[in-house]
Chains A and B, each alone.
Chain A
Amino acid sequence: MKSFQGKTLRWEWREGGIELALDHEPANEIGTAMLEELEVFVGAFGALAPEISSCIIHSARKSVFSAGGDLRELYHQAISVPEKERPKAIRSFLGRIHAVMNALDAAPFVTIAAVHGACLGGGLELALACDMIIADKMARFAFPELRLGFIPGFGGIPRLKRDLGNAVVRDLLFTGRTLNATRAHAVGLVAQLAGEGEALRIARSTAAQVAKYDPVARAAAKEFLKPIPREESQDEIEIFCELFTRPEVMAALKKFVEDSGPMPYLP
Chain B
Amino acid sequence: MRTLEQTTQEVLNLATKHFQLPAGSLAPEDDFFKKLGIDSLQTLEMLSRLENHFGIELPDYEVQGVSDFKTLAERIQSRL
> In this complex, what residue of B is CB-closest to A140?
B44
The reply to whether B59 and A117 form a contact with Cβ atoms under 8 Å apart is: no
* Interface check B19, CB cutoff 8 A: no
Q: Which of A181, A182, A262, A264 has the most CB of B within 10 A?
A: A262
**Which interface class (under 10, 10 to 19, 20 to 34, 35 or more) fits A?**
20 to 34
Q: By CB atoms of chain A within 10 A, which of B47, B51, B52 has the most? A: B51
Task: Establish whether residues B38 and A178, one from each chain, have CB atoms under 8 Å apart when the complex forms.
Answer: no
Q: Which of B29-55 contact A (CB under 8 A)?
A: 33, 37-45, 47-49, 51-52
Q: Which of B41, B49, B57, B59 touches A64 (beta carbons < 8 Å)?
A: B41
Total cross-chain contacts (CB, 8 A):
55
Asked if residues B52 and A262 are in contact (CB atoms below 8 Å), the reply is: no
A182 and B44 CA atoms in complex are apart in Å by 14
Within 8 A of B (CB), among A4-31: 27
Contact A263 B52 (CB under 8 A): no
Closest Cβ of chain A to B44, distance in Å, is: 5
* Contacting pair B61 A177 (CB below 8 A): yes
**A27 neighbours in B (Cβ, 8 Å):** 41
6 A-B pairs with CB atoms under 8 Å apart are A63-B42, A118-B44, A139-B48, A175-B61, A178-B44, A182-B51
